[in-house]
A and B are shown apart, each in its own frame.
Chain A
Amino acid sequence: DAKTTQPPSMDCAEGRAANLPCNHSTISGNEYVYWYRQIHSQGPQYIIHGLKNNETNEMASLIITEDRKSSTLILPHATLRDTAVYYCIVRDILNNDMRFGAGTRLTVKP
């Protein structure tokens, strides 16, 4: 079973920041938070991951709360191409499988 809770859907205006929340209240010390997204009819695409510090790359920023029980993925300037299902995954560094939940369907509107 997935260890995360995400809203089923969100809308965002094109050009605005998209903030996607994720709850992972049972996360343990050796578990990372990963984010993937899946555009319609494609395989999932890696976005970013983190352990406890905030992370930023060319795609997004990941903000993890100090208690690590929740996180937020931020797409700073959403475009129509960012419309996708976004998955937040908690992954044990000792395991190699990933347990996906249902994700958040983000729709970026013009």
Chain B
Amino acid sequence: GAGVSQTPSNKVTEKGKYVELRCDPISGHTALYWYRQSLGQGPEFLIYFQGTGAADDSGLPNDRFFAVRPEGSVSTLKIQRTERGDSAVYLCASSDRLNNEQFFGPGTRLTVL
């Protein structure tokens, strides 16, 4: 079956611009996670959704970052006023219920010039 998909696969933007990154989880998975991975580092947790609500957003670095999941399926990570330090691979994962294994997408590579 289809896995987690993320679009775009690559995004290049200029400092100060707004970007949206999309995640399509595995159908039927209720839990959705966003991570950020910088070069040479492990993924860093950002936010987790259970259904439509953000159950834990403690990993979001600041208020420029926001994520939504309005219908409990697709999620969008939104970054305002991008900074060069936001450049990273943004990973999305989903799981079918609490504490089950997470299935990761291929990530979106964001480059802020």
Residues of A within 8 A of B (CB): 2, 34, 41-46, 49, 85, 87, 91, 93, 95-103
Contact = CB atoms under 8 A, between A and B. Distances in A.
Contacts of B45: 97-100
B99 A96 contact: yes
Given A43-B93, A87-B42, A101-B42, A96 B55 contact: yes
6 contacts: A43-B107, A44-B102, A97-B45, A97-B48, A98-B102, A100-B45
Interface in B86-110: 91, 93, 98-99, 101-107
Nearest to A44: B104
Nearest to A96: B48
Contact of B41 (A34, A95, A102): A102
A93 B104 contact: no
Main secondary structure of the interface of A (DSSP, over half): loop
Nearest to A46: B101
Interface of B: 4, 31, 33, 35, 40-45, 48, 50, 55-56, 58-59, 91, 93, 98-99, 101-107
A41 B9 CA distance: 11
Nearest to A45: B104
A97 B33 contact: yes
B42 A43 contact: no
Contact of A95 (B44, B56, B103, B104): B56
Nearest to B109: A41
Given A44-B43, A96-B56, 15 more contacts: A2-B42, A43-B105, A43-B106, A44-B93, A44-B104, A45-B104, A49-B101, A95-B56, A96-B48, A100-B42, A100-B43, A100-B45, A102-B40, A102-B41, A103-B42
Contacts of A45: 104
Q: Which of A2, A44, A100, A102: most chain B Cβ within 10 A? A: A44
Contacts of B106: 41-43
A87 B13 CA distance: 31
Given A42-B106, A43-B4, A43-B106, A96 B98 contact: yes
